[in-house]
Amino acid sequence: MNLLGDGPLHQWLAAQLGLSITTRPDSDAVPLVVVAEQAQDVQAIVRARSWLPVRAIITWRLPESAVVRLHDLEVPVFIGLPDLETFRARVLEGADPVRMAEERRRAARLAAVEASLTGKGRADESLSTRLVAPS
């Protein structure tokens, strides 16, 4: 399994999780772990999900509403550095659909709190029209 990206954060995460790094997806469809740090990353992952073999997503400094959108992809989503044992269990042995649903509900609640505290509304509302895959 490879971690997609080549920045300092990607290198650090790959070292912590024992993953190889790749700067572009492998033609052999090697499962990928991707990092989402900005709204643009969420958009790119959503668009590429149909042809990229994404096995897990690690989020970093994203608003909760963007995390909710990533949960819609039905792959394990980790906020920050995942515990190595949990990462292996959920990614290598398969995702637990019950746990993923619980995490999505939790992220949705946090997104609602986040929106009420910032007064900006949901961050993914402004992205929603751009999150549709191009035709």
**pLDDT higher than 70, residue 110:** yes
Task: Give the Cβ contact number of residue 95 at 10 Å.
Answer: 16
For the chain, state the CA radius of gyration: 15
68-84: average pLDDT: 87
Q: What domains does the chain contain, in order, with CATH numbers?
A: 2-127 (3.40.50)
What DSSP designation does 83 have? P
CA distance linking residue 37 with residue 12, whole number of Å: 14
Extended strands (E) in the chain: 2-4, 20-22, 32-36, 54-59, 77-79
What are the pLDDT digits (tens) for 13-36?
999 999 999 988 766 678 899 999
| pTM for the whole structure | 0.73
Q: What is the pLDDT of residue 96?
A: 65
CA 38, 41, 42, 43: dihedral to nearest 10 degrees? 120
What are the pLDDT digits (tens) for 31-41?
899 999 988 89
Band (pLDDT 50/70/90 cuts) for residue 120 is low
Strand order in the sheet with 77-79: 20-22, 2-4, 32-36, 54-59, 77-79
Q: What is the pLDDT of residue 128?
A: 42
